[in-house]
Amino acid sequence: MKVDINGVKFSYASNDVLKGITFGAEAGEILGILGQNGCGKTTLLKCMNTTLSPSGGCVMVDDSCVQEMSKKDIAKKMAFVTQTTGVTFPFSVYETVMMGRYSRIDTLGHETDRDIRAVYEAMSETEIIGFADRYIDELSGGERRRVMIARALAQEPEILLLDEPTLHLDINHQFDLMELIRSLAATRNMLIVLVTHDIILAARYCDRVIIMSGGEIAAAGTVRETINRENLKRIFKVEADVNEDDRFGLSVTIVGRAGNSGTAYLSGEKTTAVPEVSVRKHIQKGLRHPSDRHDNKI
């Protein structure tokens, strides 16, 4: 299975959000999409599964144009886990995950043994099998996120799109979730495309990375090709230390904002510029980065 994004464009009124994005990806890899707020990352994911209709270009999955496929056929190919995990009605976890079978259940809605098995596998992989009859509004943020991923897995997709999957999770839950994502890519041979603001996690867990800026691809390639001091300074305007770490692979430390520091407030009074406040996020946990086994296909 392969995906080719060919010159995808999208505009909100006169605002060009995507200006002709082109890249390709294959089954079994984790592709990270990084970029500042408003650069078009989520819009790109939405164009990939036709939640938004691109104004130009096309998204090809195995030589079929996604825009010409029915909603159900798209749902069989790709699943999308959005940022929000809020619910209006408290469905049980089992009901919620079974919803993912919508595109594969017959018109009359009869669930077969295959559907139950798919739900079981999805819940087992995401480690929520013990929650079947719990209500979703009784779960923690991390557990809800797992339920949403389980529901997406119940679709049995070949492509999993994740929009900021670690949002609002504490550091250990972030690592747990990224381990799960890496395991899914390997065991299900899925293509996983994830949008994230977390450069450190992207460096640790992604196989390849696209960094977007202003609706265009500013950098693309393997993690080592894209996440480096120069790109982080040029695109994110931050100073960073990027080093190889024996235990964890690529280690990124965001030191501070590039250029002159801003102002700071001490004791309620505005002071003159102070030295950069170092923002050091050290990775204490995690496995070694998977080798950069993919050539740059971007």
Partner 1 sequence: MAEHNSLDELRAYHFSRKKRSAAIIAITAAALFATFTATLMVGNYTIPWNEVFAVLFGGGSPADRQIVMDIRLPRLLCCCLVGAALSLSGLAMQSLFKNPMASPSILGISSGAAFGASLAISFGAGAAVMGTYSVPFMAFAFCFVTMGIVYLIARTKYGVATVTLLLAGVAVGAFFNGLVSLMQYIADEDTLAAIVYWTMGSFNKCVWDSFYLAAVPILLGIAVILFRSRELNLISAGEEQAANMGVNVKRTRILIILGTSLCVGGSVAISGTIGFVGLIVPHIFRMLVGPSHKLLIPLCVFGGAAFMMGIDTISKAAFSVSVPVGILTSLLGAPFFVYVMKTKKKEMWE
Binding interface with partner 1 (CB under 8 A): 49, 51, 70-76, 79-80, 82, 84, 86-92, 94-96, 99-100, 102-103, 105, 107, 109, 111, 113, 116-117, 119-120, 123, 129-130, 132-135, 137, 151, 155
Query: Do the Cβ atoms of 95 and 102 come closer than 8 Å?
Result: no
Q: Which residue bears the tokens 């065991």?
A: 187
User: In terms of CB distance, is 11 or 36 closer to partner 1?
Assistant: 11
Minimum CB–partner distance for residue 20 and partner 1 (Å): 22
Minimum gap (Å) between residue 120 Cβ and partner 1: 5
| Smallest separation, CB 79 to partner 1 (Å) | 7
Closest CA to 21 of 53, 62, 59, 51: 59
Q: What is the smallest separation between the CB atom of 103 and partner 1, expressed in angstroms? A: 4
Q: Judged by CB, which is closer to partner 1: 92, or 213?
A: 92
In the bound state with partner 1, the residue whose beta carbon lies nearer, of 136 and 211, is 136
C-alpha–C-alpha distance, residues 281 and 77, integer Å: 36
Residue 172 has a CB neighbour count (10 Å cut-off) of: 11
Nearer to partner 1, 72 or 247 (CB): 72
How far apart CA 178 and CA 182 sit, in angstroms, is: 6
Three-class SS of residue 251? strand
What value, to the nearest 5°, has the Cα angle with vertex 64 and ends 62 and 66? 110
Distance (Å, rounded) from C-alpha 3 to C-alpha 288? 27
In degrees to the nearest 10, what's the CA dihedral of 85, 88, 90, 94?
-50
* CB closer to partner 1, 18 vs 79: 79
CB of 13 or CB of 266, closer to partner 1: 13
CB of residue 28 vs partner 1: minimum separation in angstroms?
22
Min dist. Cβ of residue 171 to partner 1 (A): 27
**What does residue 9 show for φ and ψ, rounded to 5 degrees?**
-120, 150
Question: What is the radius of gyration, based on Cα positions, of the chain?
Answer: 20
